[in-house]
Amino acid sequence: MVLKWHFPFYREIFAIPDFLQAPVLTFGCQGIEDAQSRGPRPPNPFIPRLRRFLASGGKMRRLTAFARGKLSRPVPKDFDYMSLTEFLVAKGYPSTTVDYFDDHADLRYDMNRPIPECEYNKYGTLIDIGSLEHLFDTARCLENCFRMVRLGGYYLLHTPINGYYGHGLHVFNPQGLIDCFAANGFKIVYAKYSTSKGKAVSNPSKHRDVILWLVGKKENYVSVFACPQQTIWATDYYQHTAA
Report the pLDDT value the prediction gives residue 11, as an integer from 0 to 100. 97
Helices (H), 44-157: 46-51, 57-67, 84-90, 138-148
Domain co-membership, 118 together with 238: yes
Whether residues 138 and 187 share a domain: the answer is yes
Residues 177 and 152 in one domain: yes
Same domain as 222, residue 171: yes
Average pLDDT over all residues of the chain: 88
Verify that 144 and 112 share a domain, yes or no.
yes
Q: What is the pLDDT of residue 39?
A: 46
Which one of 24, 52, 74 terminates a domain? 74
More confident residue, 212 or 66: 212
pLDDT digits (tens, 9 = 90+) for 144-184: 999 999 999 999 999 999 999 999 999 999 999 999 999 99
Omega prior to 23 cis, within 30 of 0: yes
Same domain, 80 and 161: yes
Measured distance CA(81)–CA(78) in Å, rounded: 8
Q: How many independent structural domains does the chain possess?
A: 2
Does 45 share its domain with 96? no
**Could you tell me the residue range of the domain that residue 191 belongs to?**
4-36+76-242
If asked whether residues 53 and 151 sit together in one domain, one would say: no
* Coil vs helix vs strand at 144: helix
Whether residue 128 is predicted with pLDDT greater than 70 in this model: the reply is yes
Q: Give the CATH number for residue 8.
A: 3.40.50.150
50: three-class secondary structure by DSSP: helix
Rounded Cα–Cα distance for residues 192 and 214 (Å)? 7
**29-68 pLDDT tens trace:** 999 987 545 544 455 555 565 555 555 555 556 655 555 5
SS3 193: strand
144 plus 43 within the same structural domain: no
